[in-house]
Structure 1
Amino acid sequence: MKILTGNDLKSGAVTWWDGVQWSLHVEDAVDVGDHAEAIMDREQAARRVTGAYAIEAVKDADGVRPAHIKDRIRALGPTVRPDLTLKPADPEAGNWVI
């Protein structure tokens, strides 16, 4: 399974391609298969995301999760303070004061 990640151009937040738009929640990510390059090119040209790249992921009972530890940390947040991690479908996610 291949999913896309990148950073929101306005906030810098880690985002995941959900098949229509970018989500802050990795569990919303969808398999892009062979379409990764085309989606990334289109989304970066539209200036919705920056630094997009495709990664390997697995889908299990807990949902979608990146296969590599680096991207798991990007998806879930700090590993030393579980209280600071991004919770699934957290309604407060992304409500940062800039």
Structure 2
Amino acid sequence: MKIVTGNDLKTGAVVWWTGTDWSIHVEDAVDAGEQADGVATREEAARRVNVPYVIEAERDGDGVRPAHIKDRIRALGPTVRPDLTLKPADPSAGNWVI
């Protein structure tokens, strides 16, 4: 499975390609397959996301899991303090004041 990730240009938040837009929740990421590189190129040109790139991932019972530890940390947050991780069910997740 190939998914596309990057950082939102307005907030700096890690975002994941949903097939139509971007989400801060890795669980919303879709398998971009052979179109992944094209999505990254198109979205970078549209200047909605900073440095989008394609990563390997797998879908399991818990949702989408990036293959590399660096991207797992980007997706789920700090590894030493589980209380600081991004909780998708939290309605205020991602509502930053800038």
TM-score exceeds 0.5: yes
5+ residue gaps, structure 1, are none
Q: State the AA in 2 paired with 1:88.
A: P
The alignment covers a number of residue pairs equal to 98
Deviations 1:23-64, CA, capped at 9 Å, x for gaps: 000000000111112111111111110111100001111111
Compute the displacement of 1:88 (Å). 2.2
For the 8 Å contact 1:7–1:14, the answer to whether it is kept is yes
| Residue 21 of structure 1 pairs with residue 45 of structure 2 | no
SS of the equivalent of 2:64 reads strand
5+ residue gaps, structure 2, are none
Report what 1:32 is aligned to.
Answer: 32
* Runs of 4+ in structure 1 over 4 Å off: none
Distance verdict in 2 for CA 1:24–1:89, change over 3 Å: farther
State the percentage of identical aligned residues: 76
For the 8 Å contact 1:9–1:48, the answer to whether it is kept is yes
Report what 1:83 is aligned to.
Answer: 83
Report what 2:69 is aligned to.
Answer: 69
Counterpart CA distance in 2 for 1:63 and 1:15 is 16
| Residue 51 of structure 1 pairs with residue 51 of structure 2 | yes
For the 8 Å contact 1:8–1:50, the answer to whether it is kept is yes
**Structure 1 length-normalised TM:** 0.95
Counterpart CA distance in 1 for 2:88 and 2:11 is 19
For the 8 Å contact 1:14–1:74, the answer to whether it is kept is yes
SS of the equivalent of 1:70 reads helix
